[in-house]
Amino acid sequence: MNVGYDARQHISSDPSSVIYSVKRLIGLNRKDQEANPDQFRFSYPIRFASHNGDIEIDLGPKGYAPSQISAEILKKLKEQAETQLGQKITKAVITVPAYFNDSQRQATREAGRLAGLDVLRIINEPTAASLAYGIGLTHAGTRRVAVYDLGGGTFDISILEITDGVFEVLATHGDTQLGGDDFDQRIVSYWKGTTLSADIDLEDSGKLRILAEQAKCILTEKDSFTGQIGHHQLQLSRIDFERLIEPLIERTIRSCQHALQDAGCTIDQIEEVVLVGGSTRVPAVISRVSEFFKRPVRHSIDPDQVVALGAAIQADILAGNNQQLLLLDVTPLSLGIETAGGLMDVLIPRNSKVPARVNRQYTTQKDGQSGIRISVHQGERDLVKDNRELATFHLKGIPAMPAGLPKVQVSFQIDADGILQVTAKELRSGVEQSIKINDKLGLDDALVEQMIEASIRHATSDIAVRKWTELLVEAEQSIEQTALFINKNQSRITDSEVQLLNGALDQVRVQLVSQHSDQLQKSLDELDMVARPIAERVMDEAISDALQGRSISGLDPES
């Protein structure tokens, strides 16, 4: 498999076998294609794996996952670096767009593993770019930085806050389907509309794409471009080029506006603007970004290398050679608590930045319940028994209240040192209990990988187990509440209504034994249809009896 310039030489003769912009595809699957078909239009064929719907690039009898293609690129880089350095390379820091989701980050990590690399850290590209410029290293206090990253295939804008060498991404926005490739396509469409036939053959189509890229590069320094394809002479002026790409540049500016809004800051609060990506060499891009942010932009470092330089600095930090900077770490595995049925309720998903704080409210399941057990777990499986227990404590002294009335807020807070503090507080009474966990969050990479692989391997069965367990809890509560309702309201419900309710309850009990999720859900829906109108009528009668003989003006609003 050819990589880089060796592969590029084949784009004119065999465009369907040359893979480009693979970063647009990594970590995506059939559902992503159904949601946005336009992002999957390439000159090479794409298919979906039959067993899981993941993307495969169709090259003859064999399909390649985007992570495998990325691995080939990383292998080539690894070989080149080893040749230059004269020594073996086994570890790497890899950068990704800040907007990459968990599956995209994991696919990137997998690409590194396939390339024979131990991936020490996945870091955000805007953070790496800021490191390369030394922003945050030479200034004390807090600074806000905008990193505008326009590459060949993707665009993103990130707003960073840097406080005494600590980097945090406040907000990110972007477009995974916007980059220099789209600039090239605008030029191709222009030439097809003015000089060439729209239905040129595949070989000329590949040559045309290369010529468009050459035009874009030349027009960054010159006012006009002239090229040849077949017997056609192709021309493009810088003015026409800038007119063609203006709508694309404005799309990036709209993303900048969104990112500022999400970060809760104004343009005046941005102290530095850094340009990243080869497409930021285009003068119209530099001018428009500078105009929008009302300040000169920083682009003195080669925009194709600035992120890689930042990654090298991060590797230096991890090696212990640079103590001046700290990049916020991420949680290696999800953190959550056990809920009814032994299910894992995740409060802090894996790969969340730390420090972090999350609050969530729970309640009691039984009348008069005076305590709740809080069991903290770490892992990716749906049942806590398959995850790692970190700690357990009890919130006691909850005042006696009907089930569902207490409000118990559970808070997870991780500080920059990775220490987790879990607090449970009943909001009505103020009863509170907490625990600190500081020696169990760290896991070696091998164990983390094992736990993640297990979650992927058991994903289908875990989903089924979670669905059944949630239904089981709902069914048990419905049976208990309905029986209690019948017992409390014997004087208000008729014998036929009791028969209807008991009949619906029997069906729920039957399906509990059968353990068929769909049938149990159906029986619960039927119980609800039977019970709801009866309960509403009983409630109306009870309210009517309570208000009998009383005027509205005589009611005490506090009673």
Reported as a single tens digit per residue, the pLDDT across 298-347 is 999 999 899 999 889 888 877 777 666 555 555 767 889 998 888 899 99
Give the pLDDT of residue 418: 61
Which ranges constitute the DSSP H helices of 396-551?
Answer: 445-457, 459-488, 495-514, 517-547
Q: What letter would DSSP give residue 492? A: T
CB-based burial label for 364 (10 Å; 0-12, 13-18, 19+): buried
Q: Which two tokens stand for residue 445?
A: 């990479």
Give the pLDDT of residue 439: 47
Tally Cβ neighbours within 10 Å of residue 476.
15
* Whether this model's pTM surpasses 0.75: no
CATH, range 460-547: 1.20.1270.10
CATH, range 5-178+246-318: 3.30.420.40
Reported as a single tens digit per residue, the pLDDT across 377-428 is 888 888 888 888 888 888 888 888 888 888 899 999 886 556 788 999 998 8
CA pair distance 527, 522, nearest whole angstrom? 9
Q: How is 33-88 classified by DSSP, letter by letter?
A: HHH-GGGG--SS-EEE-TTT-BEEEEETTEEE-HHHHHHHHHHHHHHHHHHHHTS-
Q: Where are the domains of the chain?
A: 5-178+246-318, 335-443, 460-547
CA atoms within 13 A of residue 476's CA, in its CB half-sphere:
10
Edge-to-edge strand list for the sheet holding 388-396: 343-348, 335-339, 371-378, 388-396
**Cβ–Cβ < 8 Å for 385, 375:** no
Give the pLDDT of residue 557: 47
CA pair distance 509, 498, nearest whole angstrom? 16
Q: Which two tokens stand for residue 175?
A: 């477009």
With a cut of 70, list the residues of the chain below it in pLDDT: 11-12, 35-36, 38-40, 51, 101-103, 136-140, 164-165, 197-204, 322-330, 332, 351, 354, 415-418, 438-449, 548-559
Provide the CATH topology of domain 335-443: Substrate Binding Domain Of DNAk; Chain A, domain 1 (2.60.34)
Give the pLDDT of residue 550: 58
Amino acid at 306: V
**Cβ–Cβ < 8 Å for 153, 23:** yes
CB-based burial label for 334 (10 Å; 0-12, 13-18, 19+): buried
Q: How is 96-155 classified by DSSP, letter by letter?
A: E-TT--HHHHHHHHHHHHHTT-EEEEEEEHHHHHHHHTTTTTS--SEEEEEEEEE-SS-E
Q: Which two tokens stand for residue 286?
A: 């530099």
Give the pLDDT of residue 559: 43
CA pair distance 476, 469, nearest whole angstrom? 11
